[in-house]
A and B are shown apart, each in its own frame.
With several copies, the nearest count.
Chain A
Amino acid sequence: MIRAAIVAAPIDVAGLLDEVTAECTGATTCFVGTVRDVNDGRAVTGIEYSAYAAMAIEEMTRIGTEARAQFGDVRIVIEHRVGTLGLRDVSVAIAVSHARRAPALDAQRFAIEELKRRVPIWKCEHYVDGDRQWVDPTAIASDAPAVARGGQ
């Protein structure tokens, strides 16, 4: 069981947990990303998320498929929110379940790491001083897959 979505409304984390939990599962994990008040030393007031929704949904679904191939029969739901979020708002939630805890924990970590590495979603941070800036993780250290890079 895999489901992925890009949503504009607040994410119902408890609903996702309930969705993946079944009578045959014994361990459910959840990763929740929230908007933090400081990034790289600058005071943040909010984050504007945007996505290439059609591809993001496909890429998140592929991550779910890979997680099942690597960690066994996990049930996984990934939702990422877009739009303007305030401090403490949930930007992403990944719920994973399995009969046993190790695969659920492994798949949870795999899914958030892969999501951050390759799902086409962007964030523009808004700062206390009124400035705004698109976050570019590759400006620090490139961790995008080399094979996936186009251009010359």
Chain B
Amino acid sequence: MTELQVLLFASYAEAFGASAVTVSVPDRGTVEDVVAALRVLPGGHVLPARPLVSVDRRYAPGAVPVHAGQEVALIPPVAGG
């Protein structure tokens, strides 16, 4: 298993009660595995079917592999402007 820190913002930070959480994903895990691990945490019920995730500050589809040391973030629906 690989431990990853996931950054949380705005409504997700409020739902999870933290600005970052650490999750464990299988070695050679993907963005999908990160989302699955987040979903079962307290607050995870607020996540939509396919939440946005970024890896190293770029949006990443579910199949993208994740590695220890990457900057992973869960992105609520954006509303800038």
Contact = CB atoms under 8 A, between A and B. Distances in A.
Interface residues of A, number: 39
B76 A134 contact: yes
A124 B10 contact: yes
Interface of B: 7, 9-11, 14, 31-32, 34-36, 47-54, 57-62, 64, 71, 73, 75-81
Contacts of A55: 54, 57-58, 73
A49 B81 CA distance: 10
A50 B9 CA distance: 8
B17 to A, nearest CB: 15
Secondary structure type dominating chain A contacts: mixed
A118 interface: yes
Contact of A117 (B11, B36, B62, B78): B78
Contact of A150 (B14, B61, B71, B79): B61
A144 B81 contact: no
Nearest to B72: A150
A137 B35 CA distance: 21
Contacts of A59: 57
